[in-house]
Amino acid sequence: MDPEQALAAFRWRLDPETLREEATDPEELRVVRDGLTAKLGTALDNRSRARLLSLRSVASRILGDLDDALADGRLAVTYAEATAELRRTALARARLAQVLRWRGEHAEADRLFAEANSPELPDRLRAALHEHAGRSCVDQGRLIEACHHFERALDLRQGGDAELIARTGVALDAVRERAAAGGFGPWPRDRDVMRGGERAPAPTFDEELELWGYADVDGNLVIDHRYAEVQAFREGMAWVRRPEASRWALIDTSGAALIEANNGYRAVRSFSDGLAWVSMDGKANWMAVDPTNMVKIPPGFEDVRPFRGGLAAVRRGGWGAVDRTGQLVVPTRYHGFPTALADGRYVDGFTEEGLAVVELAGRRGVVDRTGRVVVEPAYRALVIHPVAFLVGDGGGRWGALDRRGELLIDPVHPSRAEVVAEIDQLLADTSPVL
């Protein structure tokens, strides 16, 4: 059997005390690892090397060769990030996180689990990421946080994964025993904290002064109530406006000014990807500046959206997209960027994996981060699913396209939910190997 298929077919025993996988036949697993090594010898592209290295990392980890697993895991992440593919990068990060967890390096492991777990991934993979992040929390005595992860994993699979339910039962038994011995541990962290950041001060309003300031997570005032308007902190910066001023200033989390109000910005947008859109007249002619107030993209846009993954939707006559240098990547020929996701969310412009829904004359299609048209604007409704595109005819009938834009499911279903269910059946034999 192909070593990748053989590894996917393994069924691990979960140690009830350590919550680590164990191989029932280590020699067989060594044979699989040797097979992965042989395939690596002929793998030349980043996608293949990322996949094979991270799978070999899994085998080495379970065999107890943690140094080898760590080296493979880190190199796999480098190759995966070079592909800019969301699912491939998430898998490589999660497999590296597993190695770090086994080595007791939980801070980096938790950061990688948090970075990997995007809402744009398939539910099956997201559930696995939550399950393994929960086990890392059990190791640390963060038992409330662990339970939150296990609950989320079960919710994502909606009772449709018997193996996940069984493994979660083993993990919850471990939680119960540890809680009885030492309590449930600290309160859960949020995703930003796990990714290595600090929780930014939040806007707070003084009704007596009728002014805004900022408070820390405990409710303590850290920046005085002195502003007529404020925005939330993004990337450690926030735009604020004093009562006597008509222009906005930029401050850091200590309240120190980074950009003074006398620069003349009547309208501002929050920072993202290191840039913020600003307008001198408050209506149009938007330009992008960095935190030092250097103009990175000259004025000239009627409307703009935040940068996501290095791209931002912009309007100049029609809608298009620019990169962080101001280079037009998607021509401004579209009537909108109505990017809808299968979980009901909308994003401004591009998804994390670099796809956007565009509208032209009432019809919708898809473009990628290079400006390539993946799906011609031919559908009344189009929604991005983690592995497909859901398309509707406007009359209540839904089908699906694959990621090449080819027909996957005929548009005969009366609801999107039925299409998603059929896609899940097509994926029923796949299971993420972590």
Q: DSSP characters for 212-241?
A: EEEE-TTS-EEEEEEESEE---BTTEEEEE
pLDDT at 59 over 70: yes
Q: Which of 277, 301, 325 is the last residue of a domain?
A: 301
The pLDDT of residue 364 = 96
AA letter at 157:
R
Sheet (strand 389-392) strand order: 381-384, 389-392, 398-401, 407-413
C-beta of residue 14 within 8 angstroms of C-beta of residue 21: yes
Q: Quick one: 388 and 246 in the same domain?
A: no
Q: State what percent of residues in the chain have pLDDT above 70.
A: 98
Q: Quick one: 114 and 163 in the same domain?
A: yes
Q: Quick one: 205 and 289 in the same domain?
A: yes
Q: Quick one: 336 and 272 in the same domain?
A: no
**Average of pLDDT values for 244-251?**
96
Q: Quick one: 8 and 121 in the same domain?
A: yes
Q: Which of 301, 333, 360 is the last residue of a domain?
A: 301
pLDDT at 300 over 80: yes
The pLDDT of residue 122 = 86
Q: Which stretch of 28-37, 142-151, 155-164, 361-370 has the lowest confidence by average pLDDT?
A: 155-164
Q: State what percent of residues in the chain have pLDDT above 90.
A: 82
Q: Note down the domain range covering 187.
A: 3-194
- Chain-centre distance for alpha carbon 403: 19
pLDDT at 427 over 80: no
- pTM here? 0.81
Q: Quick one: 250 and 141 in the same domain?
A: no
C-beta of residue 266 within 8 angstroms of C-beta of residue 282: yes
**Average of pLDDT values for 92-117?**
96
CB count within 10 Å of CB 245 equals 15
Number of structural domains found in the chain: 3
The pLDDT of residue 343 = 84
Q: Quick one: 176 and 37 in the same domain?
A: yes
**Sequence-distant (≥ 6) Cβ neighbours of residue 347 within 8 angstroms:** 308, 339, 341
CB count within 10 Å of CB 396 equals 11
Residue the block writes with tokens 């600090």: 198
The pLDDT of residue 429 = 47
**Average of pLDDT values for 222-247?**
96
CATH number of the domain residue 122 falls in: 1.25.40.10
Q: Quick one: 12 and 65 in the same domain?
A: yes
Q: Quick one: 184 and 249 in the same domain?
A: no
- Chain-centre distance for alpha carbon 70: 23
Could you write out the DSSP letters of every residue in 79-105?
HHHHHT-HHHHHHHHHHHHHHHHHTT-
The pLDDT of residue 143 = 97
Residue the block writes with tokens 């031919």: 378
pLDDT at 270 over 60: yes
Report the distance separating Cα 408 and Cα 390, nearest Å. 10
Q: Quick one: 162 and 238 in the same domain?
A: no
**Average of pLDDT values for 74-98?**
95
- The per-residue pLDDT of the chain, averaged, comes to 93
Best mean pLDDT range from 178-182, 187-191, 416-420: 178-182
**Average of pLDDT values for 1-14?**
89
Confidence of residue 166 (pLDDT cuts 50, 70, 90): very high
The pLDDT of residue 197 = 66
Q: Which of 150, 177, 194 is the last residue of a domain?
A: 194
Residue the block writes with tokens 């094979």: 52
Helix or strand run (H / E) with residue 313: strand 311-316
Q: Quick one: 64 and 210 in the same domain?
A: no
Q: Quick one: 347 and 319 in the same domain?
A: yes
The pLDDT of residue 100 = 98
User: 350 burial class (0-12, 13-18, 19+ CB within 10 angstroms)?
Assistant: buried
What's the token pair of residue 119? 């809402």
**Average of pLDDT values for 39-47?**
94
CATH number of the domain residue 403 falls in: 2.40.128
